[in-house]
DNA sequence: GTGAAAGCGCTAACAT
DNA sequence: ATGTTAGCGCTTTCAC
């Protein structure tokens, strides 16, 4: 493989001049630049990014570390949407994306440390999980740039992009109340998953406010917690139905859980859309297609990824922290209303 | 950041000895090794992977380039399964995965070239697309290691992992015939997508053989081609139904197309499972959950990814080409039969 | 506008 | 078992 020296020799200039052409630096005569470019072409020269990284002390690679094990991650449509958002924005900025999903869930933190310490990467997008605080501390100490999806602590002020579903759930609940529903189930997200710390954005808050406005109280029998999966949603709805056979609507914190609830309802002889209204939790494209008539909470996961990527790139460029961002989930009423 | 020299000084050994400890080379006295490790710990030393890469002339990074645009890719469950397979196997072998999905579909080939030429990566997994042949030629010339998912040419002999659905479709068709179905639809995969060259593994072959054995011929009115998407499946079934109102079963080449066909059937007033039997195309976990009663073709996409990753690692290690692999899709009869 | 020299942090080759 | 030397391919002073 030809190096910058080979090009320099052929073009009869110094290596530094070749480097200048490579990096589009201005102080090069047009005629010289042309000669250098011709030499590159003739030799089929391509710069070695690793050598440049070593000297520059940065790799132009962004890391994305996702805990929870690959089996879950690659089948979770929201994570894929976040990944897509991050990918698109960093790719277009000329960075590459190093994707790391610990095969075993328990390796998530050490994997993160490995990536960061070996500093192949210029920054990292990560999910807060239990135990991450120690790592964030190390990142801060080393002045290593990161953005978290959701917050790792309730008092985190900077460098996160989160989604707040409370307003969406409030609207969904109001909508259902207005339609005459009185026994409204809620399949909430787990208290300790992404945002394992932050109780304030539990869906229960929006749900409870809307009920309170209608002079109603939360009935514990109507509330369940799922684990974001189909199975979790299935079981949760089964439990709710057993306790509250009169349930006529259910709000789900995620689409897979909504699918589970739908199957549970149908297995129990209910006709979804007639006996039971299901509010899905993410409004994934697939959900819109499978169940076009159902209302939904719309989770801007893709935008979350985009903002996170953007924020990280700015962090890297400007070397300062940025205030965290909250994106509100929206309520999408059913088609034709 | 401390370097290998700092560690060497503190441990009172040479840098080379530190390097030996780092790489687990045998010829180090136990006592020395302990001293070095202690020094590393004291300094919070972590090796710089970029420097090692420059010297070693390899990065321990595998590239995965997926064409078709990120919007499609991250929402396609089969691609995600392949990605997961590749990811798991290379990760466990100590490699990192660089994921590259050109945001614009037309940039796929140049993206591939960029990755390869800058040789940040030790090898690449790629999909054959129109025009890829030129690039494969360059890869061969430079002795750069790659594995293709599906073949880029009918006569490709090495370095691919493909899925052959013909046997599965044959079994599916036989099953349906035995159950008494006579008007069996087929929503085939497009002739030019992954394996844009290879007509031999068109589903039509397995379909036609099974029909022929039963003394029947292929009725062109029952066959459509989709583009792997929900919309494609929807439209395809609509077309089939219009031409052949008596259709009682349909075999789909992918799960999203099966979802589309199901929706089309239901929109047309058919009850899936009673009026129409749908054989889904991939047997994704989600499909098993949403439609547990339907028969399916089972597409081993995850295994395809694993084999591709394995093959690439072997290619890199042994510096030789390997014969291509075909994985047969299976037919999975409906539950309870 | 261009060039010479030094060095990023590591490892391979060749000592001893 | 351990050390010395050189150099991977580039960019960064600092000079002219």
Contact A273, A293 (CB under 8 A): yes
- Per-chain mean pLDDT for chain A: 90
Q: B305 to chain A: which residues are within 8 Å by CB?
A: none
Whole-angstrom distance, CA of residue B254 vs CA of residue B263: 14
Contacts of residue B135, defined as CB under 8 A and 6 or more positions apart, other chains included, come to B109, B112, B113, B116
Q: What is the pLDDT of residue B309?
A: 97
What are the structure tokens assigned to B98, written together? 């660089």
Partners of A326 in the beta sheet? A162
Q: What percent of chain A has pLDDT over 90?
A: 66
Cβ neighbours around B27 below 10 Å, total = 6
**Pick from B80, B256, B289: CB nearest A263:** B289
CA atoms within 13 A on the CB side of B211: 19
Q: Which of B66, B171, B158 is nearest to B109 (CA)?
A: B66
Q: What percent of chain B has pLDDT over 90?
A: 66
8 Å CB contact of A59 and B75 = no
Residue A36's φ and ψ, nearest 5 degrees, are -65, -45
Q: Which of B175, B189, B269, B266 is nearest to B225 (CA)?
A: B189
pLDDT tens-place string over residues A105-145: 777 888 888 888 877 899 999 998 888 888 899 899 888 99
Domain with CATH 3.40.50.2300 in chain A: 61-162+302-330, 166-298
Partners of A97 in the beta sheet? A62, B99
What are the structure tokens assigned to B179, written together? 């159950």
8 Å CB contact of A118 and B77 = no
Q: Say how many CB pairs under 8 Å bridge A and B.
A: 120
Q: What is the pLDDT of residue B212?
A: 96
Domain with CATH 1.10.260.40 in chain A: 4-47
Q: What is the pLDDT of residue A90?
A: 95
> Residue A185 gets which letter from DSSP?
E
Given a cut of 90, is residue B328 above it in pLDDT?
Answer: yes
Helix (H/G/I), strand (E/B), else coil: A226: coil
Rounded mean pLDDT of A33-45? 92
Give the strand order in the sheet containing A277-279.
A223-225, A184-188, A249-252, A277-279
Q: What is the pLDDT of residue A336?
A: 56
B293 inside 8 A of chain A by CB: no
pLDDT tens-place string over residues A179-223: 999 999 999 988 766 545 566 678 899 999 999 999 999 999 999
Whole-angstrom distance, CA of residue A260 vs CA of residue A237: 8
8 Å CB contact of A83 and B74 = yes
Q: Which of A302, A271, A259, A279 is nearest to B285 (CA)?
A: A259
Q: Domain A166-298 is classified in which CATH homologous superfamily?
A: Response regulator (3.40.50.2300)
Beta-strand pair A330-332/A296-298 = antiparallel
Q: What is the pLDDT of residue A82?
A: 95
Q: Which residue has the higher pLDDT, B307 or A108?
A: B307
8 Å CB contact of B50 and A120 = yes
Using the CA of B6, give the nucleotide whose C1' is nearest.
C9
Whole-angstrom distance, CA of residue A330 vs CA of residue B75: 21
Q: What is the pLDDT of residue B29?
A: 87
Whole-angstrom distance, CA of residue A147 vs CA of residue A128: 10
Rounded mean pLDDT of A151-161? 92
Using the CA of A36, give the nucleotide whose C1' is nearest.
C2
Given a cut of 90, is residue A54 above it in pLDDT?
Answer: yes
Whole-angstrom distance, CA of residue A151 vs CA of residue A289: 32
Cα first-last separation, chain B:
64
Q: What is the pLDDT of residue B194?
A: 52
CA atoms within 13 A on the CB side of B187: 38
pLDDT tens-place string over residues A259-302: 999 999 999 999 998 999 999 989 888 899 999 889 999 989 99
DSSP A3-22: -HHHHHHHHTS-HHHHHHHH
Q: How far is CA B179 from the centre of its chain?
A: 33
Domain A4-47 sits in CATH 3.50.50.60: no
8 Å CB contact of A263 and B77 = no
Whole-angstrom distance, CA of residue B65 vs CA of residue B155: 22
Rounded mean pLDDT of A77-104? 91
Estimate in Å the CA A49 to C1' D10 gap, whole number: 8
pTM: 0.90
Domain B61-162+302-330 sits in CATH 3.40.50.2300: yes
Q: B100 to chain A: which residues are within 8 Å by CB?
A: 91, 96-97
Using the CA of B8, give the nucleotide whose C1' is nearest.
D3
Given a cut of 80, is residue A146 above it in pLDDT?
Answer: yes
Beta strands in B44-110 (DSSP E): 61-65, 96-100
**Pick from A46, A84, A260: CB nearest B74:** A84
Rounded mean pLDDT of B272-288? 91
Estimate in Å the CA A143 to C1' D3 gap, whole number: 36
How does A18-43 read in b/e, with b if 16+ C-beta sit within 10 Å?
A: bbbbbeeeeebeeebbebbbebbeeb
B119 inside 8 A of chain A by CB: yes
Rounded mean pLDDT of A37-54? 93
| Best mutation target, A229, A289, A302, A303, to test chain B (most B CBs within 10 A) | A289
**Pick from A51, A80, A285: CB nearest B80:** A80
8 Å CB contact of B120 and A49 = yes
């Amino acid at each position: 493989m030809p190096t910058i020296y080979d090009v320099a020799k052929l073009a009869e200039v110094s290596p530094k001049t070749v480097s200048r052409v490579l990096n589009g630096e201005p102080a090069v005569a047009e005629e010289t630049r042309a000669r250098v470019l011709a030499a590159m072409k003739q030799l089929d020269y391509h710069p070695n990014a690793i050598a440049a990284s070593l000297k520059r002390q940065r790799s132009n690679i962004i890391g994305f570390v996702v805990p929870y094990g690959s089996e879950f991650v690659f089948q979770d449509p929201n994570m894929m949407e976040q990944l897509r958002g991050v990918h698109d924005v960093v790719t277009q900025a000329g960075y590459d994306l190093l994707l790391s999903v610990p095969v075993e869930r328990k390796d998530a933190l050490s994997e993160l440390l490995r990536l960061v310490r070996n500093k192949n990467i210029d920054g990292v997008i990560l999910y807060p999980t239990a135990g991450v605080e120690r790592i964030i501390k190390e990142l801060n100490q080393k002045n290593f740039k990161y953005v978290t999806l959701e917050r790792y602590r309730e008092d985190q002020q900077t460098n996160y992009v989160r989604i707040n579903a409370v307003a969406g759930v409030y609207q969904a609940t109001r909508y259902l109340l207005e339609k005459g529903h009185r026994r409204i189930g809620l399949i909430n997200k787990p208290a300790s998953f992404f945002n394992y710390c932050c109780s304030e954005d539990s869906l229960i808050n929006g749900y409870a406010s809307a009920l309170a406005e209608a002079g109603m109280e939360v009935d514990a029998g109507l509330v369940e917690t799922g684990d974001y999966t189909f199975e979790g949603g299935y079981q949760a709805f089964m439990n709710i139905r057993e306790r509250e056979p009169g349930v006529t609507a259910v709000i789900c914190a995620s689409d897979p859980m909504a699918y589970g609830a739908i199957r549970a309802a149908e297995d129990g002889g209910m006709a979804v859309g007639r006996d039971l209204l299901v509010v899905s939790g993410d409004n994934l494209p697939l959900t819109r297609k499978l169940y076009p008539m159902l209302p939904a909470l719309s989770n801007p996961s893709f935008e979350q990824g985009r903002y996170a990527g953007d924020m990280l790139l700015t962090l890297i460029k400007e070397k300062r922290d940025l205030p965290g961002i909250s994106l509100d989930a929206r309520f999408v009423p059913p088609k034709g209303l």
